[in-house]
Amino acid sequence: MGRPLPYGSPGVDRVAEDIALSPDEAVRQAQRLIDEGYPFHAHEIFEGVWKATAGTYRELWRGLAQLAVGLTHLQRGNDKGAVALLRRAAERLDPYSAQAPHQLDIAGLASHARWLADRGSPVTGADLRPRLQRQR
């Protein structure tokens, strides 16, 4: 499930702290990580874009990071933490639903986050693997 593990422990490699990806590449990488069951790593990808972004879309990337870490909490059985983060993610994502950049399915992601927050555990693997972009 990725970090947190004690530093130096064998396991899944960390995402580099100084990773600098374009928004489109970040979405591609995050989707791959979510699909592989590593939402914590997707969170780190989104966090990198959030911290490197100023202006209009900064809170969008923060919301995506919160969604990914909310998925991580659900995956690890921390329902209380998951609910709080999933609700915050949905609130941060909502303002971007009318003009979602990068073909992101903002309305769908916010709705999925609320659904997961209302549902809690148990969840299926598919529940933890939302599609970030609208299907073409």
pLDDT tens-digit profile of 63-120? Answer: 999 999 999 999 999 999 999 999 999 999 999 999 999 999 999 999 999 999 999 6
**Nearest 5°: phi and psi at 96?**
-100, 0
User: What pLDDT score does 121 carry?
Assistant: 74
pLDDT of residue 122: 85
pLDDT at 48 over 70: yes
Q: Which amino acid is at 89?
A: A
Report whether pLDDT(18) > 90.
Answer: no
Enumerate the domain spans of the chain. 23-128
pLDDT at 1: 46
Residue 10 has a pLDDT of 55
Report residue 102: phi and psi, to 5°: 60, 30
Peptide bond into 101 cis (omega under 30): no
Question: What number does CATH give the domain 23-128?
Answer: 1.10.3450
At 6, the pLDDT band (50, 70, 90 cuts) reads: low
Whether residue 53 is predicted with pLDDT greater than 80 in this model: the reply is yes
b/e per residue, 7-46, with b = 16+ CB within 10 A?
Answer: eeeeebeebeeebebebeebbbbbbebbbebbbbbbbbbb
* Average pLDDT value over all residues in the chain: 89
